[in-house]
Amino acid sequence: MYIMKKNSIFLFVLATCFTSLTAQNIDLEHNYVLIREDVVKPSMTADYEGAIADLSLFLKENKVKDVNYLTQLQDNYHYSHVSFIKDLSEVEGGMRAYINRKKNSAEFNLIWDYLNETIESYGFYIVKYKPELSYVPDGKVWLETAPYRKWNYYYFKPGTEAQVEQLMASWASLYKQKGIEHGFRVFKGLIGTENPVYIFTTWAESPLDYQQGLQDNIKLLGEEGGTLWMDMMKYVRDVETIEGWYLPQYSYQPE
């Protein structure tokens, strides 16, 4: 995954200052997702979590607008902060005034400086949600009630996007036809990723719940599912799988 060294505060401005949609609106078409990924110093994990907890509390107490992000912990101890955005041109508002010192806050400055002391580097990337390739059963939420996450990054051969998306659409259709209980969301890499890449995001209450659901899916999809999967894998040049958790206590989602 593309990681940039910590050399400009502008990246954090992008990752946190977009006018954002709430996570419940992610199934609207044309949603973009901007992700900041922090590589935390192993010895300072607790300090980092303390800093982002203080940051979330500061934003809530000061009722900071135009900021909306979900925080997730990956199994490699990278922390990602996910913002849902309507348009790539939205860069005003939110914490920008504090970062640029237009609003002077000693408390914010202290939190921000300490946060930067705990990370080795950070990067950011933008993906687009593909609802037509996703399968989300009605009423299935994916936040507090299903905090476990698995992200599968499928890197495809350049020029194969049309064939791949056709197979993905068939895959989602088969899930619907079989009435599969456990769904998935598909995101396409746009900026800051090694393209072409499609990210399959799945969720569950726990790793055990995820494995049990996976076995149920395999049985229901049967031979037809296996054939579709192998057809798609013919276009794959690399795969990366990351596990993790959604952390609501460090997220910021104002009403």
pLDDT at 205: 93
The pLDDT score that the predictor gives to residue 143 is 80
Residue 214: per-residue pLDDT: 93
Same fold, 10-127+245-250 and 129-244: yes
Which CATH number among 3.30.70.100, 3.40.50.720, 3.40.640.10, 1.10.8.50 corresponds to the domain 10-127+245-250? Answer: 3.30.70.100
Alpha helix segments (H runs only) across 10-152: 10-16, 45-61, 96-99, 106-117
Using CA of residue 243, residue 222, residue 230, residue 127, what is the dihedral sign?
A: negative
> DSSP letter string over 47-80?
HHHHHHHHHHHHHHHTT--S--BEEEEETTSEEE
Q: What pLDDT is attached to residue 220?
A: 95
pTM above 0.75, yes or no: yes
Domain covering 129-244, topology: Alpha-Beta Plaits (3.30.70)
pLDDT of residue 114: 92
Q: How far apart are CA 49 and CA 100, in angstroms?
A: 23
Burial grade of 89 (CB within 10 A; 0-12, 13-18, 19 or more): exposed
Residues of the chain with pLDDT under 70: 1-30, 87-97, 100, 139-141, 255
Which pLDDT tens digit goes with each residue over 173-206? 999 999 998 899 999 999 899 999 999 999 999 9
**Spans of all domains in the chain:** 10-127+245-250, 129-244
